[in-house]
Structure 1
Amino acid sequence: MTLATFHIDMHDDNCLLNLAGDWQLGQAPLGADICAELPSNCQSVTLITTELSHWDSSLAIALLQLSRWCEQHKLSLDTQQTPQGLQQLLLLATDVAVYQPTNEGALGGLWPTLRRGLINQGLQVHDGLVFVGNCTLALGRWLVGRARTRRSDIVFFIEQAGPKGLAIVTLISLLVGMILAYLGSVQLRQLGAQVYVANLVAIGMVREMGALMTGVIMAGRTGAAYAAQLGTMQVNEEIDALRVMGIPTMEFLVLPRLLALIFIMPLMCIYSDVIGMIGGALVANGMGVSYTQYILQTQVAIDWVDISTGLIKSLIFGFLIAIAGCQAGLLCGRDSNAVGLATTHAVVKAIVFLVVSDAALNILYDKLGI
């Protein structure tokens, strides 16, 4: 192995840079050393490699540094006499732009930032309304028997969203019922009216907490799963393949998931209501209220109007959760990071939809007097 060396010969204003020896990692000179040896009156540099033996990436790095130095000092660099492989490496390296830090994270003023935010929000609202419209049309085609949807897919997604989610719904609903009972007992105990804990828990679960907590669980569990499934299909270009074959993705992919949540959410809501009232009964029994008294008070507290308000909420929540999850999945990018972002966006958007729609429905119920 011979030592890596270089020497410079001047020919008028042209520098002949002769490379000799084995230019390999650990013993090759740096590009900065070569640049420092170039005379100040040099106008162009020509590489001579007739005495070059073995070389590796260290030579390519040194010549890349030399190339950038020549570009900064307005010098021409001739690499025609270098090995073909070295020329290709230099060409690949110079084709990549030098990284320049940007100020994309800078605010750039209040008005431009506000303007961009409003435009983005407007585009998201537009896309969301278009997606809701397409889902509604697909649902209408399904009702008249014209949708290209497999019944087995609907059954599969009902099973995934319903029976396999009972455990977490049971736990959360039981704890929420107990929490409502404890909160009510703080004031009712002072009045000696612990028996009315049953009224508070029954009204709270049936009209509000049963549907809302089930919706939150479904948003984090089922909505996220929908976004991840469709996002992965988008990354693998499976959705593109379906479109090429003429299969409508809205009916084949979105509609089964949408129908599954619409079917299962009212049932899960009723189940959550019952479990929540059982949790309240356990707490009330510890306060001296018998189970018989608790059941009688529950029957007095609620009627079919209260139950129907919660069921209507659960239907709307199921529709919105499916919309958020499926839209995020279909709009997913083409890499694994995009799948994670789509899942996050689906959960956040679904929870926002739940809170906003819940507030709107409560206002509507109040205006209607129900």
Structure 2
Amino acid sequence: MDVLHFRIEAVDNTEPQPAAAKLRLSGDWQLGDSPDGESLCAAVPENCKTLVVDTDELGEWDSSLASALLQLTHWCEQQHIELDTQQLPDTLQQLLGLATAIPAYQPSSSNAREHFLIRVYKTANSQWQGLARTLIFIGDASFALGKWLRGDAKTRTQDILFFIDQVGPRALAIVTLIALLVGMILAYLGSVQLRQLGAQVYVADLVALGMVREMGALMTAVIMAGRTGAAYAAQLGTMQVNEEIDALKTMGVSTMEFLVLPRLLALVFIMPLLCVYADVVGMLGGALVATGMDVNFSQYILQTQGAVDWADIATGLIKSVFFGILIAVAGCQAGIDCGRNSDAVGMAATNAVVRAIVYLVVADAAFNILYDKLGI
């Protein structure tokens, strides 16, 4: 204990250990030269019930004194000791008041004690409410789409063209890269077995059918989910934070027709085009690999033409249209349901991508089962 800075004086000496004590602060308390809060706590008598802080001999002080007294305050609360700080300077009392106005966060242990069945019920109820909100959102979007088809919606054509430009031409670079690599990967995977049979030319069939029926639509949708779905959620979430959506509702403007429908239509129009583009680029990527396996380009093109028909192309295009709807629904719903702070915007973008990918995988599996049952 540094006696130049503080000392403990007994107030009540009727007991072996004083029930009340005075902490007398003295000298200058400067950062780096003064005791810390642990020294103050260690000097308090064990049986002390009341501690009075006396600053009559206190000189100059800075934040180090406030920090030490704050630590002493928390320690006294834990030890159930009454701390009297009425003699402190007004400014120091104000600092301690601000520091102790809001209690420290204490994680609740109620969740750990909660019954397992109650947690299961709460989780199931939360998922059910989320599903109900999604179905309501889809219904509102369908109603707005019907009004647009009748020409009664307040959806502006320039808004649709604006979002088409965002989700279409600006996505060509990443779609090209991913589709090219996917086509090459399919060709390399097929070549491992086909080389053993001397049937390298059938790499064209594998790549063409794989891209047209499955990978072209699915990989393009995954790219758009991460690129466009998150952008939709962030845009609408920021508008929710800035209360722009509330302003539109106050003016009687339908958010579905003015905000959601242009984004949904843009994806519906662009996804089939991007799917066809990805199919072509993927086939070219397969051709790059096939030419290294003694398959000339002409053979590859002829084999591709024989392997793919219009029914195969239609299966991928139908998938792409529904994938575009699912991406728009996931992104726009996450943005509309966003909270009122910046953290909520980030969570909305994350939820949009996660939901969209889940929707895509489930929908793709459903389409494949349906195609198999129909013999397509």
Instruction: Give yes or no for TM over 0.5.
Output: yes
The residue number in structure 2 matching 1:150 is: 156
The residue number in structure 2 matching 1:97 is: 103
Q: Residues 107 and 113 of structure 1 are in contact (CA less than 8 Å); yes or no, is this contact kept in structure 2? A: no
- Supply the distance in 2 between the matched residues of 1:245 and 1:363 (Cα, whole angstroms): 46
Change (3 A) 1:48 1:279: closer
The residue number in structure 2 matching 1:275 is: 281
- Supply the distance in 2 between the matched residues of 1:21 and 1:37 (Cα, whole angstroms): 17
Q: Does 1:228 align with 2:234?
A: yes
Q: Does 1:120 align with 2:121?
A: no
After superposition, give the CA deviation of every residue in 1:130-168 in whole Å (9 maximum; x if it has no partner): 222222222223222333333222212111211111122
| Superposition CA RMSD, Å | 3.2
The residue number in structure 1 matching 2:146 is: 140
Which residue of the other structure, out of 330, 342, 349, is the alignment partner of 2:348? 342
Mapping of 1:64-83 within 5 angstroms?
A: 64-83=70-89
User: Partner of 1:312: helix, strand, or coil?
Assistant: helix
Q: Does 1:301 align with 2:312?
A: no
- Supply the distance in 1 between the matched residues of 2:86 and 2:186 (Cα, whole angstroms): 82
Q: Give the aligned length.
A: 368
Structure 1 gaps of 5+ residues are none
The residue number in structure 2 matching 1:60 is: 66
The residue number in structure 2 matching 1:161 is: 167
Which residue of the other structure, out of 178, 185, 190, is the alignment partner of 1:179? 185
The residue number in structure 2 matching 1:10 is: 11
The residue number in structure 2 matching 1:256 is: 262
Of 308-317 and 193-202, the range deviating more from structure 2 = 193-202
Change (3 A) 1:27 1:297: closer
- Post-superposition offset of 1:16: 4.7
- Supply the distance in 2 between the matched residues of 1:279 and 1:33 (Cα, whole angstroms): 72
Q: Residues 154 and 258 of structure 2 are in contact (CA less than 8 Å); yes or no, is this contact kept in structure 1? A: yes
- Post-superposition offset of 1:211: 0.9
- Supply the distance in 1 between the matched residues of 2:356 and 2:326 (Cα, whole angstroms): 7
Residue type of the partner of 2:236?
Answer: L
- Supply the distance in 1 between the matched residues of 2:66 and 2:224 (Cα, whole angstroms): 56
- Post-superposition offset of 1:339: 3.6
User: Partner of 2:151: helix, strand, or coil?
Assistant: coil
- Post-superposition offset of 1:291: 4.1
Q: TM-score, normalised by structure 2?
A: 0.83
Change (3 A) 1:282 1:48: closer
Residue type of the partner of 2:312?
Answer: D
User: Partner of 2:11: helix, strand, or coil?
Assistant: strand
User: Partner of 1:264: helix, strand, or coil?
Assistant: helix
Q: TM-score, normalised by structure 1?
A: 0.84
- Post-superposition offset of 1:43: 4.6
Q: Residues 31 and 62 of structure 1 are in contact (CA less than 8 Å); yes or no, is this contact kept in structure 2? A: yes
- Supply the distance in 2 between the matched residues of 1:72 and 1:181 (Cα, whole angstroms): 69
User: Partner of 1:82: helix, strand, or coil?
Assistant: coil
Of 216-225 and 239-248, the range deviating more from structure 2 = 239-248
Residue type of the partner of 1:10?
Answer: V
Q: Residues 275 and 317 of structure 2 are in contact (CA less than 8 Å); yes or no, is this contact kept in structure 1? A: yes
- Post-superposition offset of 1:109: 7.2
After superposition, give the CA deviation of every residue in 1:301-336 in whole Å (9 maximum; x if it has no partner): 333222221111000011111122222333344444
The residue number in structure 1 matching 2:16 is: none
- Supply the distance in 2 between the matched residues of 1:56 and 1:226 (Cα, whole angstroms): 50
Change (3 A) 1:171 1:10: closer
- Post-superposition offset of 1:297: 3.6
Change (3 A) 1:186 1:25: closer
Of 253-262 and 97-106, the range deviating more from structure 2 = 97-106
- Supply the distance in 2 between the matched residues of 1:276 and 1:37 (Cα, whole angstroms): 76
- Post-superposition offset of 1:245: 4.4
- Supply the distance in 2 between the matched residues of 1:42 and 1:338 (Cα, whole angstroms): 48
Q: What is the percent sequence identity of the aligned residues?
A: 65
- Supply the distance in 2 between the matched residues of 1:134 and 1:83 (Cα, whole angstroms): 63
- Post-superposition offset of 1:78: 3.2
Q: Residues 8 and 21 of structure 2 are in contact (CA less than 8 Å); yes or no, is this contact kept in structure 1? A: no
User: Partner of 1:22: helix, strand, or coil?
Assistant: strand
After superposition, give the CA deviation of every residue in 1:235-280 in whole Å (9 maximum; x if it has no partner): 4444444444444333332222111111100111111222223333
After superposition, give the CA deviation of every residue in 1:154-186 in whole Å (9 maximum; x if it has no partner): 212111211111122222223333333344444
